[in-house]
Amino acid sequence: MSSVHVSRHARIRMMAAVATVCALSAAPLAHRAVAADTPAYTETYRPQFHFTPEKNWMNDPNGLVYYKGEYHLFYQYNPNGNSWGDMSWGHAVSKDLVHWEELPLALSHDDEEMVFSGSAVVDWDNTTGFGTKRNPPMVAIYTSAYKNGGKQAQSLAYSTDRGRTWTKYQGNPVIDIGSTDFRDPKVQWYEPTKSWLMTVSLSAEHKVRFYSSKNLKDWESQSEFGPAGATGGVWECPDLFPLAVDGDKKKIKWVLVVNINPGGIAGGSAAQYFVGDFDGKRFIADDKGTYTPPTGTVVQDFEGAGFGEWTTSGTAFGQGPATGAVDGQGAVTGFDGKGLANSFHGGDGATGTLTSPSFTVSSPYLNFKIGGGRHPHEAGTVLDRTPPEGTVLADFEGGTYGGWTATGDAFGSAPAMGTLPGQQQVSGFLGGGLANTFRNGDAITGTLTSPEFTVDRKYLNFLVGGGNHPAGSANPTAVELLVDGQVVRSATGKDNEALNWASWDVGGLAGKTARIRIVDDNTGGWGHINVDHVMLSDTQARPVSQETSVNLLVDGKAVRSVTGADSETLDWASFDMRPYVGKEARIQILDMNTAGWGHVLADRFTAADKPAKSVVQRADWADYGKDYYAAVSWENAPGGKRYMIGWMNNWAYGQSIPTSPWRSAQSVPREMALRTVDGQVRLTSKPVGSLESLRHKRPATVSDVTVKSTSKPLTGRGVKGKALDIEATFSLKDAERFGLKVRTGAGGEETVIGYDATTQEVYVDRTRSGAGDFHSTFPGVQAAPLKAKNGKVELRILVDWSSVEVFGGSGEAVITDQIFPDPSSTGVEVFAEGGTATLDRMRAWQLRSIWR
């Protein structure tokens, strides 16, 4: 992703970047404090063999090029803070893709533009005239993100001293199509036509455009590719390169990588790819054929005049099935037959539920079609929107702040009446007014402080939304409770414009005199806060559901949930019902959202023996984890190798991860290849070979360990650790799931790296991996398809202080996930569930730090 703007158009882009709705925490985030005298690169979560800048925010890798013995890694960087903003190009170099030297800032933002993502080339023949043939220039091709109006265009900068200093081209931009969604140019030399080739994204259109040039300055459009594959988010950071299939240099295929956010395979950000042919002008993806879902017994197809025995609440679903779009709605497609459940009756402002009768689960899977908004179910939320009874301290109605005192400009002279200019839709507040600091975008700051009041109830409840910048961080957007001038409670938004309830237990402060202070001290992405209905009550306010989802209810609780993808096109989804066979269940379709895309579509619920697969599941992914995005590859690498690296984070929660004074890491560089797997040509990856130079000489070795429905710690010298390189081979027996647990320890912490023999998937479960309460979508399980070979499963696992990278089989199944365990959690265990499995052999190397 190129970055997040602060202009109106930028806010629209940010909406795509962080569209996930989440419940809002009422407690301050549990960031582990880092002592001021902690040496750099030894902080609690600091990666030891992944690149991180010494301080500040980083996202996309940029300008990947090899020149004169150095691999250059430029990257999106905020030189002024630990959250997104002031986007510039940071710079690091390496001789081996493992050890990195951070260099001074390369390309800086200025008063006119931010420097978004792009690429770099060595202009060997000096086609630009920026250097000489004896000293060819290094040329950066980047996206100018203009601060006035949000337009994006492609520009040049050049260096004649191996990338140490840079000059922006006076003739910028070199391509300008007047778009606000035109970014991330990847440029390479295309030898057959003796010209430069640019691959660039038309992000909102889900297209990639190809340009050709003789001199990097004058470009001619050649063709476009897309929409195709997964299109549930913006397309960004494209890359195009050739690879030999199965090592046969006579059989060359081209790979087009298109990063997508949100809408990735694991939710949020991800790297999609296509395999096909390229003739210098056009990329044509290989035909993967049509998809036929599994057959089964139809439970509900909404073909009747009414909902039958299904019951409704609210008004959103109308009196019966819709026959497509309803009044005010765009065209609805992808449903079967004539009818479907459609909650757009009354527009996005209406809410309601549609619930099936109770049934006994008897089939392994429930398949169905779903569309509409991407507003996921949140555990612990309630459907009742009625606020608790109590004493209202501020409802921000009546056009004034009453006795509240404002400083700075962010709060203006009076409450906002909802959404402000340039802001995505604000929802969840009560009445007509609220405190909203998105005035002049995120660029201004201020505080709003209540008069003194006496704490005389058990709870202090309020509605909060906006940016996730906790109190105590460098630039907070937070609600604070002050007693004797000290902050004793705080809460923040979750990078979402939907307000939801937060609640503080203030029973221990009874009789104290207090004030509420709302703080906006942030000018970066999501640098604002929304607050409403501050009240004292003897009842704790519970976060209200804001989902648009289909849920499976067992014992009254949602045990499975799927949401739409901000699309009026329905797509297949599936619930794994196997754990609930024999139990009573219900299907519930919920529309509890009143903002943009606040509706849900559903059709054709079918009990089946196999799961249906969505377009996203049928797409091809370079990585199936949550934390691999903006993946691009190096140009000019020695030996014709193709190395790729990705941003090891996710826009859903990227600005909230609990690290300081830096935020974000890059993945381990990977060597890419095309291999035929089960008859299909797949992009595979393995860690760069030079990573093995970090291994301590002698690995810890474990052989022939059989476990049955249990977990067994692996002991012995060198097995434990916070930075490990593990190679493991398992034999399938009759266990349903088996594998390794890493970073086990404090309070039951563990990161599970397993294989599910029934679904034939490798998976990472980070639900108990340590700190994860900073965002509701962080905990979870990520899975990648992987078939066993000759009854064996082979895994390569890289464990760092705050991440795991899992490579299954021949590298066709890769999962990259961040984790934030306690430093004392260093154990490794082998486990099996539902039967027996054998760990044939495991070798585990301790890895040395690249920083010491």
Catalytic residues: 60
Q: Which residue has the tokens 């569930």?
A: 833
Instruction: Burial-class residue 132 by CB neighbours within 10 Å (0-12, 13-18, 19+).
Output: exposed
Burial class (CB in 10 A: 0-12, 13-18, 19+), 69: exposed
Contact call for residues 153 and 175 (beta carbons, < 8 A): yes
Distance CA 809, CA 598 (A): 41
Q: What SS3 state is found at 691? A: helix
Do 771 and 820 form a contact (C-beta atoms < 8 A)? yes
Q: How far is CA 367 from CA 574, 587, 620, in A?
A: 4, 12, 21
Token representation of residue 551: 């849920």
- What separation in angstroms does the CA of 773 have from each of 504, 542, 741, 766, 819? 16, 17, 21, 12, 12
What CA–CA distance (Å, rounded) separates 300 from 765? 33
> Is residue 195 within 8 Å of 214, Cβ to Cβ?
yes
Compute the distance between CA of residue 469 and CA of residue 476 in angstroms, rounded to an integer. 5
DSSP SS3 for 413 = coil
| Of 256, 251, 244, residue with least CA distance to 282 | 256
Distance CA(544)–CA(24), nearest Å, equals 10
3-class secondary-structure state, position 383: coil
Taking alpha carbons only, the member of 683, 648, 763, 756 closest to residue 58 is 648
Q: Within a 10 A sphere around the Cβ of 324, how many other Cβ atoms?
A: 15
Preceding omega of 28 cis (within 30 degrees of 0) = no
For 141, other C-beta atoms within 10 Å of its C-beta total: 27
Task: Look at residues 102, 54, 65 and name the one whose alpha carbon lies nearest to residue 632.
Answer: 65
Quick one: DSSP state of residue 617? H
CA–CA separation, 297 and 755 (whole Å): 30
Q: How many angstroms separate the Cα of 637 from the Cα of each of 157, 646, 711?
A: 21, 17, 43
Distance CA 110, CA 94 (A): 28
Strands 270-278 and 620-621: antiparallel
- Looking up tokens 């000096």 gives 126
DSSP run (H or E) holding 221:
strand 219-225
DSSP state of 639: G
Assigned token pair, 398 = 């009546």
- Torsion sign across C-alpha atoms 147, 149, 150, 151: negative
Q: How far apart are CA 189 and CA 422, in angstroms?
A: 40
CB 198 within 8 A of CB 186: yes
Looking only at the bridges linking them, the beta strands covering 167-168 and 152-159 are antiparallel
Amino acid at 678: D
Cα–Cα distance, 169 to 333 (Å, whole number): 47
d(CA 422, CA 438): 8
Which H, E and C letters describe 720-750, residue by residue?
Answer: CCCCEEEEEEEEECCCCEEEEEEEECHHHCC
Residues whose CB falls within 8 Å of the CB of residue 327, separated by 6 or more in sequence, listed in order: none
